[in-house]
Structure 1
């Protein structure tokens, strides 16, 4: 690492000449995440209506659709430049949102169950692609040193959006109904598209990668490159493993909370409000991490330390859930000290957290730290990789590999519960997985810091470097 880059990392702040692009990046991510979180509670209340036993079928459908779309995205970036591909992806999802509006009418052509299933499938794909494309774009205009300094700041925009989104849903759904929320989401994506265009212009003139050969050109290669890189490239393979371990934690926690919601709330409005409350708490925690902890820790200690702190904290809360082993008892009733800490929080936050059982608290903590700490750290690692990995391999990991993990984890969870493994046992397994994820993430981050990810397209040509 050069002396200049080392100074950049130690400062941990936005430098002269970066402010405009950072502001545009924050606004871009804010719009993307707000657009998603405006309509996400609709999907979550559908899950709660049917219970966790149906999640493997939902996730299987999402995986098949994602597996079909991933080569299409790889084909696009192989043949068209960034300035065409990114707007095309967002334009496609805007058109889909507008197309859903008449389907949500009272006398729409689809039954509520069919519409709900289709919408669950679509929004799961929507989330993966719009966020993956955002971070691929970010790693394409910022170098590794800038990523470590700036990604926690840029991530704040997304976290604020993830707070505004469910707040908008809570305020508007009873007034305007579901269909107009889709128009709100489409409008936000349209604004994000404006930010994409402005960032592209800035990057061509001021970006750190503007001197790289053909940094905006079509990448070339084949449509299956992204999926191949997961198996052939050691860096992409390790990142996929890290994601799958994190996916176990998130999917099991989600399934337990889905069952709690189904057993506790009897109508769609209550389930939707409960899902929005969890999103709000999760994203308040994520924002706190992004403002107070992650920028300092990532810029000074690197991604390994950030992932390590996430792992230890997640293990602790999952262990609490395993000890309580009752999905319906509020955690404040079991641990008086925890109750005192919750009571010391602002009244509105305390009122939301107080009644939550251990499984819901574990979900909030693991998700909040994943968004606020692991997300920026993980994305900063991709900034060191070759461009074909940043777009093709990363997209394949973030979409196809992730949804494959959803299917496998949800199926395993249903199987474990069928043989008598309860909430405590599932939480204990997740705690062990969180510990393993910490070890894997630590090793990947240290390997990247030694220059291990700076390979053209990796193991496809005999690369035997190990993480």
Structure 2
């Protein structure tokens, strides 16, 4: 415990909060990653030429959910609402368990693919929004690395359970294990609420989320939020292109479902293992020394190099190397940096804009990019050329990261200067 406090420069209270947040994220990601390889295989089973429909379905469901979430956030205090949302998703998992036992079908598999995509984005967005409530910008720079490592540990633990338990309990019973792990994550969320309320550093009042478009209205008034929205749109576009290329390459390379599932499991294990190492030993130092500008640019740079490589050589090993580098650096460096951008916002800005960006823009970008990829593939019929066409998108994404990092540094420097002035006046 003393060793952890010294490595990450934590106070005693910060250690208690960070530990609970670490375990909360660990069980949350364990729950999700048990099911992720199954979802990816279901997407291929549904047909690689039909995946854009799955992404469009995910986007449509998100548009339906956001107004409901906004209404609830406006009416119910966050510390009461968030655990109930997790209970709702646990109930969903149990319902899928029953339906797969009674009437398994391709339509049900497609519904599960869409549901898990929504679940992943929604619950992780809630996790990071909650942490942005708990910690200041200065604390986030020190704590988001080790907290993110909790998710990476879970992202390793989940696939290991899926790999070694599926032969013993069957695919359907993995849903029960996932539901149990999500229930444990909910208990740590409740524990985190109690600890933060006891320290009296967080005021859990209702957030003013008026409608699905409130986040859009806020973005129109703020250059900073516009830049965040553009950054996420470019990120999800690049990621979707890479995901669709993966589907085509793996579908052509492997004929059996078992081989494809093994590839997905191996990929996740490598990605999450590298991510864990980076989060424990690099993230905090990188954010502190290199700064947020470089942190936001490094993954787009990997994307540029990755698409150039795939444009020259469409092979499983090339895809695997690109995915491992892209996703591990995204989880360890870029994701904490992106979440750091929201720490300086008001509750109103945070829960309206972040909710809109993490759902409508993220999944809308998925859907649009999916159709764009499908159209290009039908028109060009060459993954090599499509890879090269994705390079300029990744380059614009990198420049956007540079711009938004500069804006964030200017905002935080101004806030820090204002705080020093207030302290000096009080001292006088």
Task: Tell me, yes or no, if structure 1 residue 126 matches structure 2 residue 119.
Answer: yes
- Is 1:322 the counterpart of 2:282? The answer is no
Label 1:91 to 1:231 Cα distance change in 2 as closer, same or farther (>3 A). Answer: farther
Partner of residue 136 from structure 1, selected from 129, 152, 156: 129
In structure 2, distance between residues paired with 1:221 and 1:270: 45
In structure 1, distance between residues paired with 2:398 and 2:271: 20
CA shift for structure 1 position 182 = 0.9
Q: Which one of 39, 46, 67 corresponds to residue 43 of structure 1? A: 39
Larger helix fraction of residues: 2
Check conservation: 2:238, 2:303, Cα contact below 8 A: no
Q: Show the counterpart of 1:285.
A: 274
Given that residues 43 and 110 in structure 2 are in contact (C-alpha distance below 8 angstroms), is that contact kept between their aligned partners in structure 1? no
TM-score, structure 2 length as denominator? 0.90
Cα distance change, pair 140–256 in 1 and its aligned pair in 2 (3 A): same
Corresponding residue to 1:262 among 229, 251, 258: 251
Deviates more, 1:306-315 or 1:159-168: 306-315
Indicate the SS of the match to 1:382.
Answer: coil
- Structure 1 Cα separation of the partners of residues 312 and 10 of structure 2: 44
Q: 1:413-452: CA deviations, max 9, x gaps?
A: 1111112152222222333222221211121122112117
Q: Residues 428, 291 of structure 1: CA spacing in aligned structure 2 closer, same or farther, 3 A cutoff? A: farther
After TM superposition, the structure 1 = structure 2 runs for residues 63-102 of structure 1, keeping only pairs within 5 Å, are 63-102=59-98
Query: Could you tell me how far 1:268 is from its partner in structure 2?
Result: 2.4
- 2:233 maps to 244
Aligned partner of 2:292 among 303, 306, 310: 303
1:381 is the counterpart of 2:341 = yes
Q: What's the CA shift for 1:227? A: 4.3
Equivalent residue for 1:443? Answer: 403
2:384 is matched with 424
- 2:147 is aligned to 154
Q: Note closer, same or farther for the CA distance 1:318–1:23 as it changes in structure 2 (3 Å cut).
A: same
| Aligned equivalent of 1:223 | 211
How big is the shift at 1:360? Answer: 3.1
The one-character-per-residue Cα deviations of 1:284-318 (angstroms, maximum 9, x if unpaired) are 22223212322101123322121223333332233
Instruction: Give the 5 Å matches for 1:397-416.
Output: 397-416=357-376
**Secondary structure of the equivalent of 2:380?**
coil
* Contact 1:71 1:226 (8 Å CA) reproduced: no
Residue pairs, 1:178-193, within 5 angstroms: 178-193=171-186
CA contact (8 A) 1:245 1:434 kept: yes
Distance, in Å, in 1 between the alignment partners of 2:385 and 2:124 is: 33
| Equivalent residues, number | 409
| Paired position in structure 1 for 2:261 | 272
Question: Residues of 2 paired with 1:285 and 1:239: CA distance?
Answer: 27
Q: SS of 1:18's equivalent?
A: helix
Q: Residues 388 and 453 of structure 1: is their aligned pair in 2 closer, same or farther, counting only changes over 3 Å? A: farther
1:134 partner SS? helix
The structure-2 alpha-carbon separation of the partners of 1:102 and 1:446, relative to structure 1 and needing over 3 Å to count, comes to same
- Provide runs of 4+ in structure 1 moved above 6 Å: 452-455
Aligned-residue offset at 1:163: 1.0
**What stretches of structure 1 of length at least 5 have no aligned partner?**
1-10, 329-355, 456-467
- Deviations along 1:223-282, one digit per CA (max 9) or x if unpaired, are 332343344433332212111111122111111111122222223222222111111112
Question: Do residues 170 (structure 1) and 163 (structure 2) align?
Answer: yes
